[in-house]
Amino acid sequence: MKLLLKWLLSAASLMFVAYLYPGVQVTSLSAALVAALVIGLFNAVLRPILVVLTLPVTVVTLGLFLFVINAFMFWGAAEVLKGFQVTGFGAALIGSLIYSALGMVIDSALRSLFPQQ
């Protein structure tokens, strides 16, 4: 139940990012649901590999390069999907920052709704 709710709220937050920032477009709720799923899969599979491969750059930039990795995950999902578009890398960076902030709020709310036993 928690996973399904997180997926739905992530899709809603992706639509909110598209509403808030004109560099990100989502055409429908179904496109937002698929985009949230693909972003989640990219973050689960590709992101750890990229973090390990770019560890020296991440250390030199004091962790700021992780924002670039997040932007590439966001942009990559937009390149793979129809109905979810990002106009460029700058839009991907801003969109991923807003999406990540909303994701932290969602995680915090879900933690209070579904406490660990």
- C-alpha 35/C-alpha 19 separation (Å) is 15
Q: Report pLDDT for 29.
A: 95
Average pLDDT over residues 18-36: 96
Phi, psi (deg, nearest 5) at residue 85 = -130, 145
- Reported as a pLDDT band with limits 50, 70 and 90, residue 54 is very high
Average pLDDT over residues 12-19: 96
Number of domains in the chain: 1
* Domain that residue 74 falls in: 2-113
Residue 39 has pLDDT above 80, yes or no: yes
Tell me the CA distances in angstroms from 19 to 30, 92, 113, one per residue in order. 16, 14, 27
